[in-house]
């Protein structure tokens, strides 16, 4: 009972300090800015696919028809032109456009692909491969014959062909990243700020002459930061994606993530004497922990060390909580990694904290 | 209640000791004064006894428990008042006491009653950061009483207080001693020590240089003096005469017999004078 009473009292004290130091106000202001940005500044649709300008100069129209069929199916933009002048003019328009010019008879078609110059090698090769596939189809050859000139063919089987593909609007797709950076990482500066204000006021010295333990102090601090994370995450979620998030998953996930970040901060902050000294490592910590945000929008960017960060599975778990696809492994994987990190970091925080309190006599 | 033997402490962990070979004992119900100038080793000793600093060398027990091994539950029986106010400045005076009261496993005193005792009831709802230094000092003093401690450590409890509040704090210390508390009073204020302590220890440059009751120390190290004012041929004269010097005693007898004595005061040595005599420096140094 004594332990529970101390925990409640410590948490209540921390929350009072958070409110009266205007930390809560700062968190709510940042949340409001994020809401405004997501609702009014970030577009709902950001199409990063290039528009394709097609000039079918074969006289058969087969290339144009094939492109219309394929580009239409993939939701891309297709601009069909009828002569060289229109082709050059269309490609000269500033923007993300590539050109396909087809010449020659049906069996001897020749293609010229035009790029702006900024396209990646991967994009260029993909387009070239697509046209090779077309040529193979028109020519009636077996692209998977292993002759070296064609492409292998693949049979595709769709288990649930009628299942709707969940593709959230771009502005809403940003929400998991916003929650990662604002709510989950709220403790990086605020937990440290609270700690340094206590060191400055020497209140920890008084705390140490009471029966309460360092572990109780740290648990309460982590919980207080977890609550602050929820206070930030709830309005952001309600005012951007509304009620349709998976709340029973989202709230514990944000709470746990904030606790983990706070525990890490409690270890790090002990190594520095002031919030000024701590600022640089804190910025580095934020930068590293938000790197999985790049992978979130560019899945091809996922080196092993980025995947090892607790924020990597977290950002995808948050996406799953906001836009459920039924991939429970994302959630359990992230929760498992967070719990493991907490189990490793929290005892370290207790040890370093206890040692620093005695050595530096704060 | 306290037993200390051959205590040493070095902040630099070398032969430069802040406390060197300190030994003393404090009996239950005693007010024990620990006197010395700033930097003498008073606070270091108190910090070791209250677990704020690790015991490096020597032996020390508090309430019968070895300070190396005592658990956090011992703090249910100990109260500590610090020299420098260490309060949650964003919390009110009452919230500060309520928070600390919640940390104990034993029944605690009513925070509002404590605030009343130290004259802070009207400021109970104000944030501690808005308190004057003296008010913060009183709040720290009140906080140390929350768990009705058996062993009460006081570090300069009257620093920064006006004479009225100093008197109130002194009376609370006496009341708590009557309740059964043992008091370890660290101070460089000789008047407080002289007035309140059953025994005092003088510490200088990390070593205890004298330890006894204030009366015995004054008798051992001080001179018995008499200040006499008398009229002679219409003029007012004043003399300070020793009662232990035969010549000066004879002079006093002459004045008493032949002159018109206006005032006569015995002049004992103060603890500060005794300290200067044994330590070779003043308490304010």
State the DSSP string of A60-111. Answer: S-HHHHHHHHHHHHHT--EEEESSHHHHHHHHHSSSSEEEEEEES-GGG-EE
Would the CB atoms of B53 and A209 count as touching at under 8 Å?
A: no
Residue A358 is predicted with a pLDDT of 61
Determine contact, residues B244/B224, Cβ cutoff 8 Å: yes
Cβ neighbours of B78 in A, within 8 Å = 209
Q: How far apart are CA A154 and CA B55, in angstroms?
A: 75
Would the CB atoms of B143 and A206 count as touching at under 8 Å?
A: yes
The tokens for B199 are: 């025994």
Would the CB atoms of A17 and B104 count as touching at under 8 Å?
A: no
Determine contact, residues B254/B202, Cβ cutoff 8 Å: no
Residue A254 is predicted with a pLDDT of 95
Cβ neighbours of A21 in B, within 8 Å = 90
Residue A147 is predicted with a pLDDT of 41
Cβ neighbours of A16 in B, within 8 Å = 90-91, 95
Compute how many other C-beta atoms are within 10 angstroms of the C-beta atom of residue A289: 23
- A329 burial type by CB count under 10 A (0-12 exposed, 13-18 middle, 19+ buried): exposed
Would the CB atoms of B80 and A21 count as touching at under 8 Å?
A: no
B205 CA to chain A: closest CA distance, Å?
Answer: 21
Determine contact, residues A113/A98, Cβ cutoff 8 Å: yes
Full DSSP string of B213-265: -HHHHHHHHS--EEEEEEEETTEEEEEEEESSSHHHHHHHHHHHHHSEEEEEE
Q: Is A99 left (phi over 0), alpha (psi -120 to 50) or beta?
A: beta
Determine contact, residues A146/A133, Cβ cutoff 8 Å: no
> Do strands B182-187 and B31-35 pair parallel, antiparallel, or not at all (unpaired)?
parallel
How many residues are recorded in chain A? Answer: 362
Compute how many other C-beta atoms are within 10 angstroms of the C-beta atom of residue B280: 10
Residue A149 is predicted with a pLDDT of 46
At residue B285, the 3 state secondary structure works out as: coil
Would the CB atoms of B52 and A208 count as touching at under 8 Å?
A: yes
| CA atoms within 13 A of residue A206's CA, in its CB half-sphere | 30
The tokens for A355 are: 């040692």
Residue A47 is predicted with a pLDDT of 62
**β-sheet with B260-267: strand ranges across:** B235-242, B225-232, B260-267
DSSP state of B130: G
Q: What's domain A51-139's architecture?
A: 3-Layer(aba) Sandwich (3.40)
Residue A71 is predicted with a pLDDT of 66
Residue A185 near chain B (CB below 8 Å): no
Question: Domain spans of chain A?
Answer: 2-44+169-360, 51-139
Q: How many residue pairs from chains A and B have C-beta atoms closer than 8 A?
A: 74
pLDDT tens-place string over residues B220-271: 877 778 889 998 877 889 888 888 888 988 999 999 998 889 998 887 778 8
Handedness of CA A24, A27, A32, A38 (dihedral sign): negative
Q: Taking residues B38-54, report their average pLDDT.
A: 89
Compute how many other C-beta atoms are within 10 angstroms of the C-beta atom of residue B57: 13
Handedness of CA A326, A328, A334, A335 (dihedral sign): positive
Would the CB atoms of A210 and B143 count as touching at under 8 Å?
A: no
Q: What is the dihedral of CA A312, A318, A321, A325, to 10 degrees?
A: -50
The tokens for A72 are: 């239409």
Q: A212: nearest CA in chain B? A: B103
pLDDT tens-place string over residues B115-153: 999 999 999 999 999 999 999 999 999 999 999 999 999
pLDDT tens-place string over residues B86-123: 999 999 999 999 999 999 999 999 999 999 999 999 99
Question: Which of A227, A257, A225 has the alpha carbon at shortest distance from A321?
Answer: A257
Residue A151 is predicted with a pLDDT of 46
How far is the first Cα of chain A from the last one, in angstroms, to the nearest whole number? 28
Would the CB atoms of B80 and A20 count as touching at under 8 Å?
A: no
Mutation target to probe the A interface, by most A beta carbons within 10 A, among B90, B111, B129, B184 is: B90
Q: Using CB atoms, which residue from A2, A16, A206 is nearest to B90?
A: A16
Instruction: Compute CA distances A147 → A110, A133, A137, A142, A155, whole Å.
Output: 20, 14, 15, 9, 19
Q: A359: nearest CA in chain B? A: B53
What is the ipTM for the molecules in this complex?
0.85
Cβ neighbours of B80 in A, within 8 Å = 206, 209
Residue A146 is predicted with a pLDDT of 38
Residue A211 near chain B (CB below 8 Å): yes
A-contacting residues in B 102-121 (Cβ below 8 Å):
102-105
Would the CB atoms of A6 and B86 count as touching at under 8 Å?
A: no
Q: Using CB atoms, which residue from A9, A201, A358 is nearest to B89?
A: A201
- pLDDT tens track of chain A, all 362 residues? 788 999 999 999 999 999 999 999 999 999 999 999 998 888 776 666 678 888 888 888 888 888 887 765 555 688 899 888 999 888 888 777 888 888 877 666 788 888 877 666 777 787 788 777 777 776 654 444 334 444 445 555 555 556 555 567 788 888 999 999 888 788 888 999 999 999 888 999 999 999 999 999 999 999 999 999 999 999 999 999 888 889 999 999 999 999 999 999 999 988 888 888 998 999 998 899 888 888 888 776 778 888 888 888 999 999 999 988 888 888 898 999 999 999 999 999 999 888 877 666 54
Compute how many other C-beta atoms are within 10 angstroms of the C-beta atom of residue B52: 19
Token pair 């330590």: residue: B279
Residue A356 near chain B (CB below 8 Å): no
Residue A46 is predicted with a pLDDT of 64
Q: How far apart are CA B208 and CA B211, in angstroms?
A: 7
Would the CB atoms of A20 and B90 count as touching at under 8 Å?
A: yes
Q: Using CB atoms, which residue from B75, B82, B90 is nearest to A211?
A: B75
The tokens for B154 are: 């006081």
B131 CA to chain A: closest CA distance, Å?
Answer: 14
Spell out the SS3 assignment of B153-184.
EEECCCCCCCHHHHHHHHHHHHHHHHHCCEEE
Residue B173 is predicted with a pLDDT of 95
Radius of gyration of chain A (CA): 28
Token pair 């049906």: residue: A106
Q: How many helices (H) and strands (E) does chain A have?
A: 16, 4
> Do strands B225-232 and B260-267 pair parallel, antiparallel, or not at all (unpaired)?
antiparallel
Q: Taking residues B155-164, report their average pLDDT.
A: 89
Residue B72 near chain A (CB below 8 Å): yes
Would the CB atoms of B72 and A211 count as touching at under 8 Å?
A: yes
Residue A358 near chain B (CB below 8 Å): yes
Cβ neighbours of B86 in A, within 8 Å = 201-203, 205-206
Would the CB atoms of B102 and A9 count as touching at under 8 Å?
A: yes
Residue A114 near chain B (CB below 8 Å): no
User: C-alpha angle with apex A131: A128 to A136, nearest 5 degrees?
Assistant: 125
Would the CB atoms of A5 and B102 count as touching at under 8 Å?
A: yes
Would the CB atoms of A209 and B52 count as touching at under 8 Å?
A: yes
Residue B142 is predicted with a pLDDT of 97
pLDDT tens-place string over residues B178-230: 999 999 999 888 888 888 999 999 999 899 999 999 988 888 877 778 889 99
Axis crossing angle, helix A311-322 with helix A247-269, rounded to the nearest 10: 160
Q: How far apart are CA B42 and CA B184, in angstroms?
A: 11
**β-sheet with A110-114: strand ranges across:** A78-81, A51-56, A97-103, A110-114
Compute how many other C-beta atoms are within 10 angstroms of the C-beta atom of residue B153: 25
Residue A4 near chain B (CB below 8 Å): no
Question: Domain spans of chain B?
Answer: 223-267
Least confident of A92-96, A340-344, B80-84, B161-165: A92-96
Q: Using CB atoms, which residue from A20, A201, A212 is nearest to B86?
A: A201
| pTM for this prediction | 0.78
Q: A362: nearest CA in chain B? A: B52
Determine contact, residues B34/B186, Cβ cutoff 8 Å: yes
Question: Which of B24, B144, B139, B150 has the alpha carbon at shortest distance from B93?
Answer: B139
Determine contact, residues B185/B157, Cβ cutoff 8 Å: yes
B270 CA to chain A: closest CA distance, Å?
Answer: 34
């Amino acid at each position: 009972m004594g332990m529970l009473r101390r925990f409640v009292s410590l948490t209540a004290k921390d929350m009072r300090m958070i409110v009266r130091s205007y930390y809560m106000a700062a968190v709510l202001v940042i949340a409001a800015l994020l809401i405004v940005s997501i609702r009014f500044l970030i577009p709902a649709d950001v199409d990063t696919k290039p528009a394709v300008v097609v000039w079918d100069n074969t006289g058969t129209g087969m290339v144009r028809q094939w492109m219309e069929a394929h580009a239409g199916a993939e939701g891309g933009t297709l601009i069909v032109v009828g002569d060289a002048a229109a082709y050059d003019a269309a490609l000269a328009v500033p923007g993300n456009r590539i050109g396909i010019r087809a010449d020659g008879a049906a069996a001897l078609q020749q293609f010229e692909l035009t790029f702006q110059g900024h396209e990646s090698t991967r994009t260029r090769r993909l387009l070239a491969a697509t046209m090779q596939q077309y040529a193979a189809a028109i020519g009636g050859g077996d692209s998977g014959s292993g002759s070296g000139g064609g492409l292998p063919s693949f049979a595709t089987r769709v288990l649930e062909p009628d299942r709707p593909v969940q593709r959230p609007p771009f502005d809403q797709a940003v929400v998991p990243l916003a929650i990662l950076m604002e709510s989950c990482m709220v403790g990086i500066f605020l937990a440290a700020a609270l700690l340094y204000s206590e060191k400055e006021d020497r209140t920890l010295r008084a705390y140490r002459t009471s029966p309460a333990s360092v572990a109780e102090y740290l648990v309460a601090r982590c919980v207080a930061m977890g609550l602050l994370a929820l206070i930030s995450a709830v309005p952001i979620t309600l005012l951007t994606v509304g009620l349709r998030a998976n709340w029973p998953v989202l709230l514990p996930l944000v709470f746990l993530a904030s606790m983990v970040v706070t525990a890490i901060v409690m270890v790090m902050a002990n190594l520095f004497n002031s919030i000024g000294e701590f600022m640089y490592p804190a910025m580095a910590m934020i930068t590293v922990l938000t790197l999985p945000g790049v992978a979130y929008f560019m899945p091809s960017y996922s080196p092993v060390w980025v995947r090892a960060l607790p924020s990597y599975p977290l950002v995808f778990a948050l996406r799953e909580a906001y836009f459920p696809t039924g991939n429970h492994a994302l959630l359990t994987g992230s929760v498992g990694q967070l719990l493991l990190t907490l189990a490793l970091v929290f005892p370290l925080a207790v040890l370093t904290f206890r040692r620093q309190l005695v050595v530096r006599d704060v | 209640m306290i037993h200390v033997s051959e205590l040493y402490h070095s902040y630099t962990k070398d032969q430069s000791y802040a406390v060197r070979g300190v030994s003393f004992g404090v009996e239950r119900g005693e007010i024990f004064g620990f006197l010395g100038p700033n930097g003498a080793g008073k606070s270091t000793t108190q910090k070791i006894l209250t677990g704020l600093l690790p015991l490096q060398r020597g032996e020390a027990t508090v309430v019968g428990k070895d300070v190396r091994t005592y658990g956090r539950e011992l703090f249910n029986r100990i109260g500590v008042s610090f020299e420098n106010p260490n309060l949650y400045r964003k919390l009110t005076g009452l919230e500060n006491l309520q928070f600390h009261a919640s940390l104990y496993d034993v029944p605690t005193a009513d925070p509002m009653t404590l605030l009343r005792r130290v004259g802070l009831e009207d400021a109970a709802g104000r944030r501690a950061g808005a308190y004057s230094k003296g008010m913060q000092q009183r709040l720290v003093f009140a906080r140390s009483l929350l768990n009705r401690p058996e062993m009460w450590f006081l570090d300069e409890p009257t620093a920064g207080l006006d004479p009225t509040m100093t008197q109130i704090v002194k009376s609370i210390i006496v009341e708590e001693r009557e309740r059964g508390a043992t008091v370890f009073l660290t101070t460089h204020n000789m008047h407080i020590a002289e007035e309140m302590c059953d025994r005092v220890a003088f510490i200088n440059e990390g070593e205890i240089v004298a330890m006894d009751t204030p009366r015995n120390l004054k008798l051992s190290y001080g001179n018995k003096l008499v200040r006499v004012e008398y009229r002679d041929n219409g003029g007012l004269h004043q003399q300070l005469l020793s009662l232990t010097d035969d010549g000066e005693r004879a002079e006093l007898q002459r004045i008493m017999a032949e002159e018109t004595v206006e005032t006569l005061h015995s002049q004992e040595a103060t603890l500060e004078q005794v300290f200067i005599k044994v330590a070779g420096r003043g308490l304010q140094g």
